[in-house]
A = this chain, B = another copy of it.
Amino acid sequence: MLNFSFQNPTRVHFGENQMHVIAKEIPKDAKVLLAYGGGSIKGNGVYDQVVAALSEHTFFEFSGIEPNPSYDTLMKAQSIISQENVDYILAVGGGSVVDGAKFIAAAALFEGDEPWDILSKGASFTQALPIGAVLTLPATGSESNGNSVVTRNGDKLSFSSPIVRPEFAVLDPSVTLSLSDRQISNGVVDAFVHVMEQYLTYSVNGKVQDRFSEGLLQTLIEDGPKALNAPTKDDLDVRANIMWSATMALNGLIGAGVPGDWSTHMIGHELTGEFGIDHARTLSIVLPAVMKVQRTQKQGKLVQYAERVWGLTEGDDEARIDQAIAKTEAFFQQMGVPTRLSDIDLGESDIDTLVNRLEQHGMTALGEHGDITLDVSRKILQQAV
């Protein structure tokens, strides 16, 4: 096992009818910015519950945070914050809204030249407005981590800091019953790939981390499809298991003490940045190709994944790996997401553009060994055609 330091102080309130905790979690005298997306929370009752919980607070609204939240949108929040002396951000939505709230919170107190520097130059910051989150779409884990991804002019860049980790998060699985199949499948696939990126590397004999990861993968494989199809589509336990898996997939725990390979996300970001593909649908295309191209480097873990996650015990190691990759692709297909560039009408001729973007963003040594160079990323994209 590798050395690590781990802390996750976010208070998670999980289950139905937990929205009332917001009233106690946010200081009574806070001036709250209620940040949300396109307004779906007004259709599913979440907005009304949140507003009821804030009945004794002063709050202002900032809506319109889009998927892959844009810098320009988020910067618009700064004028309300300064005019109204906002000192608490309550994000109500999915990962994009929570990610956006983190950037808003850091930008509000940023002392450098331009808040974009946080993303483009890794400019450090020492303070941010406190954040709470009401999660409506289980996927990114943003509700209890310090990560944020923001897009500007097609550049999808990220930052991470414990300073913007939400102080609390309300996770009510019943809220997810109103999600579309596409939202659910995107969320399940995003969480699945988060786990894989912390698991499918090389063994450091971290048995707890491995088994926790395998448990999350198995849960998503079992319950992900159930959330799409009758009679289990409305089963609250199914929703709860997906929601808790997605949080645990990226709250820092399963990655503590083990290597990581974030190449799937990094390559996927370019597909979104260039072509506007849903984040999860880039991952389901890239991950199987990474498994194939990096098969030798990841052999030990691929065999373990085959045996423990998919129960594949027939044939030799290579046969098991073949089957495990096929099972992974079949799972993605079952979730209704693409597994090939051709599924989204892209192909060989788009690869140069994507590789150039990776180069521009400095993504020249990805993977747990840093051996996913631009050439290897090209092979991965070719494999994904």
Residue A84 interfacial (CB < 8 Å): no
**Docked CA distance A5–B240 (Å):** 14
Q: In the bound complex, how far is the Cα of B244 from the Cα of A8, in angstroms?
A: 16
**When A7-B9, A241-B205 are in contact, do A256 and B14 touch as well, CB less than 8 Å?**
yes
Query: Does A83 reach chain B (CB closer than 8 Å)?
Result: no
Contact between chains at A5 and B1 (CB < 8 Å)? no
Structural contact, B15 and A208, CB atoms closer than 8 A: no
Q: Which B residues touch A160, using CB under 8 A?
A: none
- Quick one: which of A209-242 are within 8 Å of B by CB? 210-212, 214-216, 218-219, 222-223, 237, 240-241
A126 at the interface (CB under 8 A from B): no
Chain B CB within 8 A of A28 CB: no
Q: Which of A5, A10, A204, A248 has the most CB of B within 10 A?
A: A5
Whether A207 sits at the interface, judged by CB under 8 Å, is: yes
Chain B residue at minimum C-beta to C-beta distance from A222: B207
Given contacts A206-B241, A211-B218, A215-B214, contact A4 B9 (CB under 8 A): no
Q: How far is the CA of A5 from the CA of B169 in the complex (A)?
A: 10
Counting chain A residues whose Cβ lies within 8 A of the other chain, the interface size class is: 35 or more
Question: Please, which residues of chain B bring their CB within 8 A of the CB of A48?
Answer: none
Contact: B214 with A208, CB < 8 Å? Answer: no
Q: Do residues B3 and A7 form an inter-chain contact, with CB atoms below 8 A?
A: no
Identical copies in the complex: 2
Is B16 touching A3 in the complex (CB atoms < 8 A)? Answer: yes
Q: In the complex, what distance in Å separates the CA atom of A211 from the CA atom of B245?
A: 11
Given that A207-B222, A208-B241, A211-B218 are known contacts, is A7 also in contact with B12, CB under 8 Å in the complex?
yes
A1-36 contacts to B (CB < 8 Å): 1-18, 21
- Cβ A11 vs Cβ B3 within 8 A: no
Q: How far is the CB of A325 from chain B (nearest CB, A)?
A: 23
Q: Is the CB of B1 within 8 A of A241?
A: yes
Instruction: For A241, list chain B residues within 8 Å (CB).
Output: 1, 205-208
- For the complex, is A154 an interface residue (Cβ under 8 Å from B)? no
The answer to whether A240 touches B15 (Cβ under 8 A) is no
| Closest B residue by C-beta to A18 | B3
Inter-chain contact B7/A245, CB cutoff 8 Å: no
Inter-subunit contact A237/B1 (CB<8 Å): yes
Q: How far is the CA of A237 from the CA of B222 in the complex (A)?
A: 31
CA distance A323 to B61 in the complex (A): 60
Contact A7 B14 (CB under 8 A): no
A204→B212 CA distance, assembly (Å)? 19
Chain B CB within 8 A of A67 CB? no
Q: Are B11 and A6 in contact (CB under 8 A)?
A: yes
